[in-house]
Amino acid sequence: MKPVVAIVGRPNAGKSTLFNRITRTKDALVDNFPGVTRDRHYGSCIWNDVEFSVIDTGGFSIGDDDYFSSFSRDQVHQAISDADAVILLLDGKGGVSPFDSELINILRELSCPVFYVVNKIDGYEKEENINEFYSLGIDTLYPVSAEHGYGVPDFLDILVSAFPASSSEDDVDAIKIAIIGRPNVGKSSLTNRILGENRVIVSDIPGTTRDPIDTACEINGRQYLLIDTAGIRRKKQVYEKIEKISIIKALRSIDRCDIALILIDAHEGVTDQDVKIAGYAFERGCGCIFLLNKWDLVEKNNKTLNRYIEKLRMDAKFLSFTPVLALSALTGQRVPKIFDIVNNVYDQYSTRIPTGPLNKIFERATLKTEPSLHNGRRIKFFYATQISEKPPTFISFVNTPEGIHFSYQRYLINQIRQATGLDQTPIRLFFRKRHEASNRVSQKKQFVSKHQKRKNRTFRK
């Protein structure tokens, strides 16, 4: 396993900035006011050819002025318990705080290495600002500037040297699953239910989750990466900068996932925003599964589920192939069934069809139903090939690609589904004009062949 390093400290000490600096990303939200980070946020880093994971945590505070303070403290404690090393980040501009003393008392009981880093030291001339932190009873302090990078390389040299030499190994290729939906539909509750722990903070307050929270897990011997995302509201309802950034990060999480679990509040019913979010997933080409959450709150009869499915099929026709599962993240009802569906969708999502069988499918399909004429000319299909998977993507070479109607494209996709059993994954089909150069080469060969025949006839005479 890769070593895990937790970054802890009081609010606004610069933990997320240091996280971004170490991971060389902008994955953690950063702002000047405290309390932006609430959950544990994982990232990966390589330094001196040593791989390790970094955990960004919320600010540790003693008081309960903020509703989320107690939740953030719990997340800090869990991060510390998971870590192989801990970085206590101190605020070089703010000076010594009672929060620092409280955290130091907790960290002194740990058996793993603890590194005391003073942030916001922007240069050599500012290093005298670290002196007051020696009053906390710390022997070694590391001055850095997370924002400008001062002192960070030297500190990372020391950090990775404390890891066992054989601790780094390659990651297992995991199925990436993003849990997406409107605010308060139960995304974080579902994440916690799957993992069997309070991995992310759950609250009735919309916007509780801000950063996409990645968590690796193993279920029935298969590796997964769960990505809990911020709720996606309509643009006209979003005013705060932090929420706008959170939504952008949620959409980016869809870009990097294999399967999107589109969570819908069954108690409220299917909304236009649910369909719009499903459209985001469809446009990005990931596998999709509709999850009707809070099913325990729905008054049901024998036809209730069918009505929900009909509503989804009607409103989101572009995802008519998507499986639908009714569940309850609160009670755990049908939650284990998610991964049976995920595995099936992923297996189809990563399927490759050989060129020979694929062209037979196209041949049968075009003989069964020919495309309509275009400008008085018959459209000819020459050959087809699969150019990628995740999702299965095909190109068919024809004489006039602009003449193929979208309804005929949909017909061909359905023929592929029927012939291959790919009934739960998106399929992309593009049409290209057969390369003119190849046509000229073919025509040249035909001319040479005819010319040679004439010469042979003349020679025989």
Residues recorded for the chain: 461
Cα angle, residue 231 at apex, residues 20 and 178 outer, rounded to 5°? 70
Query: Does the residue 456 lie in any domain?
Result: no
Same domain, 142 and 191: no
Our count of domains for the chain comes to 3
- pLDDT surpasses 60 at 207: no
Q: Which residues pair with 333 in a beta bridge?
A: none
End-of-domain residue from the set 161, 192, 223: 161
End-of-domain residue from the set 316, 349, 382: 349
Give mean pLDDT, residues 117-136. 91
pLDDT given for residue 452 in this prediction: 54
Query: Does the residue 87 lie in any domain?
Result: yes
**Residue the block writes with tokens 């040299």:** 157
The phi and psi torsions of 382 (rounded to 5 degrees) equal -90, -60
Same domain, 373 and 342: no
* Helix-helix angle 241-255:272-283, to 10 degrees: 50
pLDDT tier at 266 (50, 70, 90 boundaries)? very high
pLDDT given for residue 55 in this prediction: 85
Same domain, 312 and 329: yes
Closest CA to 340 of 455, 432, 259: 259
pLDDT tens string 378-434: 889 999 999 999 999 999 999 989 999 999 999 999 999 999 999 999 999 999 987
Helix (H) or strand (E) holding 265: strand 259-265
Closest CA to 227 of 155, 175, 185, 165: 175
- pLDDT surpasses 90 at 230: no
Domain holding 87, by residue range, is 4-161
Q: Which residue stretches of 231-354 are H helix?
A: 241-255, 272-283, 304-315, 338-349
Query: Does the residue 444 lie in any domain?
Result: no
Same domain, 62 and 147: yes
Same domain, 244 and 305: yes
Query: Does the residue 207 lie in any domain?
Result: yes
Query: Does the residue 108 lie in any domain?
Result: yes
pLDDT tens string 298-345: 988 888 999 999 999 999 999 999 999 999 999 999 999 999 999 999
Q: Which strands sit side by side in the sheet containing 222-228, from one edge to the other?
A: 213-219, 222-228, 175-181, 259-265, 287-293, 324-326
Same domain, 207 and 248: yes
Q: Which residue stretches of 316-435 are H helix?
A: 338-349, 355-368, 406-420
* CATH number of the CATH domain containing 415: 3.30.300.20
| 434 class by beta-carbon count within 10 Å (0-12 exposed, 13-18 middle, 19+ buried) | middle
> SS3 of 142, please?
strand
- Sequence-ordered list of residues with C-beta below 8 angstroms from that of 61, at least 6 positions apart, any chain: 10, 11, 69, 72, 73, 99
